[in-house]
Structure 1
């Protein structure tokens, strides 16, 4: 089964499970039938999960990369809570139970608490899976080849040069060309742990084999891939890049 379909089925299972739990415990209980409350939570959870697919990469891989995990989780939950609260407000209003505007800040805090709990839970599960994957590795040098296994067949024995983040996709650079895959940079970096490369920017991971040159551009370090692509090295990762022998 394709990874994309697996991820969507997993999201659907999560949505149904959370919706059933919130309905069972009577969160935002009202006079509407049980099926209507269950449907309300399905719609609301769908909004939250959909929003998270855009917010999580933006927060963890770009805007707040390198920050403390609690800060990243809180920022993620705060953003997700806005559309979730809006969907709740509209759905409840459709059944004649409009939440008074002065109470919306308090309702936002309730939604934020739930969103934060789910965000932290998701992070813990994701990291547990990453550790399990890491624990199954026997030879560090195989990390890059296993990662390339995510690409079409023609890339399976390619030389990995670099990875860059583009929205919620990754552009993978190899000696056989480039390819886009649906994946977060943070997950790719964890999967490539032990491979001869290092993250050099919030949006870039680079392999030593992919570098042909390095230069200074207005005082900033820039790496050049073998295909001529410039890779910026942020100040946060300069030491790591030098320690890895990239510059």
Structure 2
């Protein structure tokens, strides 16, 4: 669920881009009077915003599944996302004369849609930097878990409760299963849930030294959270106690195998 602060930031940046494009009149739109030109770019950018809003989530999922860089995965998602968007836009704009749409019209619409979609995606990334998500806000100092805390698959020990948990909401504080890098944030996955923390990945990993391993440029996994390993052709994934599967970078395979992470049984704590 998108936070209200981030949504307002995205809409503010989007409104500014509409005004800039209406003033510049790219793609030959400068020949259109200002009023219709402003309406054209407003409809185009708002439509692009609606269709491209899921692109970052799709790119993040692609990066997790393939192990590629998140920025490259988002760019790939933009390239594919522009196809259906441009087709819908050009045929809707043609209306009753849709039979007259040519391949050149589709190619031109695709290029414009890709540019607009990439712009919308950049808007989301900029808004993500300027507006700290609600679940990334630091909470009060961590308190010891009460005796009534439900038992989880990962033992809650002093070693498993680093200072990083001080920045999580109280109801999410508990044994850390893994860390996931998301641009300037780290998503901390605990036995109780997950939340974003504004911290560099290497700084978060440093707080957990000796408790796990950096298995991918975007992932750190706690040793105690490991339930097993799955091999798919040349690629490996770690299966955690919560059912999550985390990709393993090929460069990390020799070290993880030497430490027993890729065996039939999880490594000893």
1:46 to 1:86, Cα distance in 2 relative to 1, 3 A: farther
1:26-71 deviation per Cα after TM superposition (whole angstroms, max 9, x unaligned): 2352887644432332332233233333222322442575436775
Query: 1:144-182 deviations in whole A, cap 9, x for unaligned?
Result: 326x52xx43224x23223689xxxx99643xx43255x
Distance 1:67 1:13, change over 3 A: same
Which ranges of structure 2 fall in alignment gaps of 5 or more residues? Answer: 133-160, 262-269
Retained in 2: the 8 A contact 1:61–1:202?
A: no
Equivalence for 1:155: 172
Change (3 A) 1:221 1:115: closer
Query: Structure 1: which 5+ runs fail to align?
Result: 131-140
2-structure distance, mates of 1:188, 1:17: 30
**Per-residue deviation at 1:231?**
4.3
Verify the 8 A CA contact 2:229 2:236 in the aligned structure 1: yes
Identify which range, 197-206 or 47-56, moves more after superposition: 197-206
Aligned equivalents of 1:239, 1:127: Cα separation in 2: 33
Q: TM-score if structure 2 supplies the norm length?
A: 0.55
Moved more, 57-66 or 5-14: 57-66
Q: How is 1:94-133 mapped onto 2 (pairs within 5 angstroms)?
A: 100-102=101-103, 103-116=105-118, 119=121
Give the 3 Å change call, closer, same or farther, for CA 80–25 of structure 1 in structure 2.
farther
Q: Tell me the equivalent position of 1:77.
A: 78
Give me the whole-angstrom Cα distance separating, in 1, the residues matched to 2:248 and 2:35.
52
Seen in structure 2, the aligned counterparts of structure 1 residues 71 and 236 have a Cα distance that, compared at 3 Å, is same
Distance 1:128 1:163 in 2: 22
Which residue is equivalent to 2:25? 26
CA distance in structure 1 between the aligned counterparts of 2:38 and 2:227, rounded to whole angstroms? 58
Q: Does 1:178 align with 2:178?
A: no
Quote how far apart the aligned CAs of 1:239 are: 3.1
Larger Rg: 2
Contact 2:48 2:85 in 1 (8 A): yes
CA contact (8 A) 1:143 1:191 kept: no
Post-superposition offset of 1:111: 3.3
The CA deviation string for residues 106-141 of structure 1, in whole angstroms up to 9 with x for no partner, is 3322433454466568668868999xxxxxxxxxx9
1:206 aligns to what? 221
Aligned-residue RMSD, C-alpha: 5.1
Partner of 2:177: helix, strand, or coil? Answer: strand
